[in-house]
Structure 1
Amino acid sequence: MNAVRIATRVVVMPLLALLATAAQAAPVKIAVLETLSGPQASTGLAYRAAVRYAVDKLNASGGWNGQPVQLLEYDNQGGPAGASDKLKAAAADGVQIVVQGGSSAIGGQITEDVRKHNLRNPGKEIVYINVGAEALELTGEKCNFHHFRFAGNAQVRTKALVQAMKQVQALGTKVYSINQNYSWGQDMERAIVDNAGAGGYQVVEKTLHDVNKIQDFAPYVAKISASGADTVITGNWSNDLLLMMKASKAAGLKVRFGTVYLDQVGNIANAGEQAIGHFVVQAFNPEAAGAEGERFVADYKAKSGHPPVATEPQTAFGLEMVADALKRTKPVDGALDVNALARNLETAKLKTPMGEASMRAADHQVLLPLVVSVVAKDARYKADDTALGFKPVKVFTAEEAAVPAQAACKMQRP
């Protein structure tokens, strides 16, 4: 009898040890790999705030596999080289999910580094969650199975902006294109030209300039004024848009701006009443989103200390889609199978306050609703502690905003 009990103990104890080991398996680790210091830090800090909000929300609902998801933060120092170094550090720390959005140049580096890492390290894959790097090549010739974009791109942004501005007769017939001279800015310039026929305008001049190196935009504002343009369309962000708004105010420039990032903190404060009548294409506008939008704003503000602005809503929504995919990914030996997560991300959907968003499996480009808004005094929600805000002009469903997947994307799945 004692021998039977001893034998039973010998069998049961290793089993219990195995179950305990499975229960204590390493948690999922998500890394924010953003510009958290230097002149472009405001952009990176906004992404970080939204990721923190979404991860806290995921953990409040139980985390993954019964454990809280861990959030790690890495400062890419504003450039591709720094991002590459920090990605290696994240991989060494056991990160399975990397999140980045500020700068397509950095995004291009990360997606290539992730691709190479995954080829060299089967079983230790990383997935790149792109919440703001909008260059077309990332879902075109550089598309890969472990990259997912939860933001728009130049073609969808410009298409919506032009349609809405034309509909309210605010576009005019002469457009000046000014953009940053790298992949994203070049995509914007092409999109502005491509939409000229549909918009009924002529592109009177095109300017590409250095990225976040110009301290005085007065010469560019003078060129815009001399061109006779009715409207300026720009994809500029961070200091390049902030300083352009400041220079346009100083010069009293009498043109409309059609933008992607005018809702970035500080732009309305810099432009003042000069910004009235300027347009922005957004992923979220609380005034257009009704009661659901109000609830989201209130919850975000309660947890983050400020209302969601600029890229923060799209980032929060993107991470909610990641959370949904995680919940549908069962543990394998107590650990996350990143390839299984990626397959679940291909079918991710989310009912946002603006409407349904979904991931397109063909190129891993999210299809999301967009809203075009105009700076006005009667906007319900104010910006930058001013009397101005963004009043919705037109909401596009995800289907209306979408453009086809690029033929250049040849998705290779493991």
Structure 2
Amino acid sequence: MAQTKSAASKSAPATSATQTVRIAYIDPQSGPFAGVGANLLKHFQFSADLVNAQQLAGPGVKFEMAAFDNKASPQETLTALKQVIDQGIRYVVQGQGSGAALALIDAIDKHNERNPNQAIVFLNYAAVDPDLTNSKCSFWHFRFDANTDMKMEALTTYIKDRSEVKNVFLINQNYSHGQQVSRVAKELLARKRPDVKVVGDDLHPLGQVRDFAPYIAKMKAANADTVITGNWGPDLALLVRAAREAGLNANFYTYYAGVIGTPTAVGPAGENRMHMISYWHPNITGYPGEQIYLDFKKRFNEEFYTVA
């Protein structure tokens, strides 16, 4: 009888409990950037469902997203991180705002130094301040997006061969990313197109401007033919809407024209005027990830645009 039991136990298939890996999503779900935050949360939930369905992490491993609202604020980000730590979550994704990312890097470094057995990994999908991987470089931080300098290098390489670019107006959000866009744009334009004039360089409060008409009036008064901006979310959508309504005859060179809300704000007026430096956009044919885009749009009736 003992032999029979032993043989049966050897032939029985091994069973393993499902391992659930929770990932904290710390980005805005309220306030002016809530629309962007909600859309990108769906990006992650959709991707997690795809990975789980195909068992890409192996049998029995399941990914689960947990959302935490940071209201696009570095201070609220730290409050959210404390909740993440209290819940024992070991992976954090964030991307909307380099100010929040800088706060996370500092706090996570300190936490991991004090608690090496509960270390947290920060996965940054879109916070692009160069300092994040230079002066603020952290072993625990992984960025999947090209930084501000890299994107501006590509953008200005394109601009240098555009003879119609003569008078450039810079407008950016007044926080680390926007300040870096302004800095590197002036540096690279001076090197690649010294004939180009920077006729304006404005920084505005992040997520607080409701009417960009005064900024557009300054662009028209400066005879700007080109606008360069790192704005995103409503700060870009409202900017281009004001430009359209005022009849500003200028080309826009952007980082984030594809982000939810902006294509609608631009409309047909953006044809051949709105430019974006990006890895991908839906009009590229033969893209291997096209089915992901189509499935996402079918499920949520929203655009899938972040592939970093």
For 2:282, the equivalent position in structure 1 comes to 286
Assess, with a 3 A threshold, how the Cα gap between structure 1 residues 291 and 245 changes in structure 2: closer, same or farther: closer
The counterpart of 1:189, out of the listed 182, 185, 188, is 182
For 1:120, the equivalent position in structure 2 comes to 114
Instruction: Report the secondary structure of 1:243's partner residue.
Output: helix
C-alpha deviation, 1:168, in angstroms: 5.1
For 1:161, the equivalent position in structure 2 comes to 155
The counterpart of 1:207, out of the listed 202, 207, 229, is 202
Assess, with a 3 A threshold, how the Cα gap between structure 1 residues 226 and 243 changes in structure 2: closer, same or farther: same
Please tell me whether the aligned partners of residues 21 and 64 of structure 2 are also in contact (alpha carbons under 8 angstroms): yes
Q: Does 1:300 align with 2:269?
A: no
C-alpha deviation, 1:157, in angstroms: 1.4
| In structure 2, C-alpha distance between the alignment counterparts of 1:56 and 1:169, rounded to whole Å | 47
Question: Which amino acid letter does the alignment assign opposite residue 297 of structure 1?
Answer: Y
| In structure 1, C-alpha distance between the alignment counterparts of 2:143 and 2:238, rounded to whole Å | 28
Q: Does 1:75 align with 2:69?
A: yes
- Residues 51-107 of structure 1, C-alpha deviation per residue, up to 9 Å, x if partnerless? 112211221122456231222111112211211111111112121110111111111
Q: Does 1:151 align with 2:140?
A: no
For 1:38, the equivalent position in structure 2 comes to 31
For 1:140, the equivalent position in structure 2 comes to 134
For 2:213, the equivalent position in structure 1 comes to 218
- Residues 245-264 of structure 1, C-alpha deviation per residue, up to 9 Å, x if partnerless? 12111211111111111112
Please tell me whether the aligned partners of residues 124 and 144 of structure 2 are also in contact (alpha carbons under 8 angstroms): yes
C-alpha deviation, 1:236, in angstroms: 0.9
Gaps in structure 2 of 5+ consecutive residues:
7-13
| In structure 2, C-alpha distance between the alignment counterparts of 1:238 and 1:307, rounded to whole Å | 14
Instruction: Provide TM-score, normalisation by structure 1.
Output: 0.66
For 1:61, the equivalent position in structure 2 comes to 54
Greater alpha carbon shift after TM alignment, 95-104 vs 61-70: 61-70
The counterpart of 1:242, out of the listed 210, 218, 237, is 237
Please tell me whether the aligned partners of residues 18 and 61 of structure 2 are also in contact (alpha carbons under 8 angstroms): no
Assess, with a 3 A threshold, how the Cα gap between structure 1 residues 295 and 159 changes in structure 2: closer, same or farther: same
- Residues 111-149 of structure 1, C-alpha deviation per residue, up to 9 Å, x if partnerless? 111111111111111100101111111111111011011
Please tell me whether the aligned partners of residues 53 and 304 of structure 1 are also in contact (alpha carbons under 8 angstroms): no
Please tell me whether the aligned partners of residues 234 and 261 of structure 2 are also in contact (alpha carbons under 8 angstroms): no
- Residues 365-386 of structure 1, C-alpha deviation per residue, up to 9 Å, x if partnerless? xxxxxxxxxxxxxxxxxxxxxx
Please tell me whether the aligned partners of residues 18 and 62 of structure 2 are also in contact (alpha carbons under 8 angstroms): no
For 1:359, the equivalent position in structure 2 comes to none
Gaps in structure 1 of 5+ consecutive residues:
10-18, 315-414
| In structure 1, C-alpha distance between the alignment counterparts of 2:20 and 2:290, rounded to whole Å | 33
Assess, with a 3 A threshold, how the Cα gap between structure 1 residues 244 and 206 changes in structure 2: closer, same or farther: same
| In structure 1, C-alpha distance between the alignment counterparts of 2:250 and 2:102, rounded to whole Å | 34
Instruction: Provide TM-score, normalisation by structure 2.
Output: 0.88
Assess, with a 3 A threshold, how the Cα gap between structure 1 residues 307 and 195 changes in structure 2: closer, same or farther: same
| In structure 2, C-alpha distance between the alignment counterparts of 1:221 and 1:185, rounded to whole Å | 18
| In structure 1, C-alpha distance between the alignment counterparts of 2:251 and 2:52, rounded to whole Å | 44
Instruction: Report the secondary structure of 2:24's partner residue.
Output: strand
Task: Give aligned-pair identity as a percent.
Answer: 32
Aligned 1:3-18 pairs, distance under 5 A: none
- Residues 319-345 of structure 1, C-alpha deviation per residue, up to 9 Å, x if partnerless? xxxxxxxxxxxxxxxxxxxxxxxxxxx
For 1:89, the equivalent position in structure 2 comes to 83
Question: Which amino acid letter does the alignment assign opposite residue 61 of structure 1?
Answer: Q
For 1:378, the equivalent position in structure 2 comes to none
The counterpart of 2:169, out of the listed 147, 172, 176, is 176
| In structure 2, C-alpha distance between the alignment counterparts of 1:112 and 1:244, rounded to whole Å | 33
The number of equivalent residue pairs is 296
| In structure 2, C-alpha distance between the alignment counterparts of 1:143 and 1:150, rounded to whole Å | 14
Please tell me whether the aligned partners of residues 19 and 62 of structure 2 are also in contact (alpha carbons under 8 angstroms): no
Please tell me whether the aligned partners of residues 129 and 148 of structure 1 are also in contact (alpha carbons under 8 angstroms): yes
Please tell me whether the aligned partners of residues 32 and 74 of structure 1 are also in contact (alpha carbons under 8 angstroms): yes
Assess, with a 3 A threshold, how the Cα gap between structure 1 residues 272 and 95 changes in structure 2: closer, same or farther: same
Please tell me whether the aligned partners of residues 53 and 303 of structure 1 are also in contact (alpha carbons under 8 angstroms): no
C-alpha deviation, 1:244, in angstroms: 1.0
The counterpart of 1:131, out of the listed 125, 129, 137, is 125
Please tell me whether the aligned partners of residues 131 and 150 of structure 1 are also in contact (alpha carbons under 8 angstroms): yes
Higher relative contact order (CA 8 A, sep 6+): 1
Moved over 6 A (4+): none
Question: Which amino acid letter does the alignment assign opposite residue 281 of structure 1?
Answer: I
Aligned 1:388-399 pairs, distance under 5 A: none
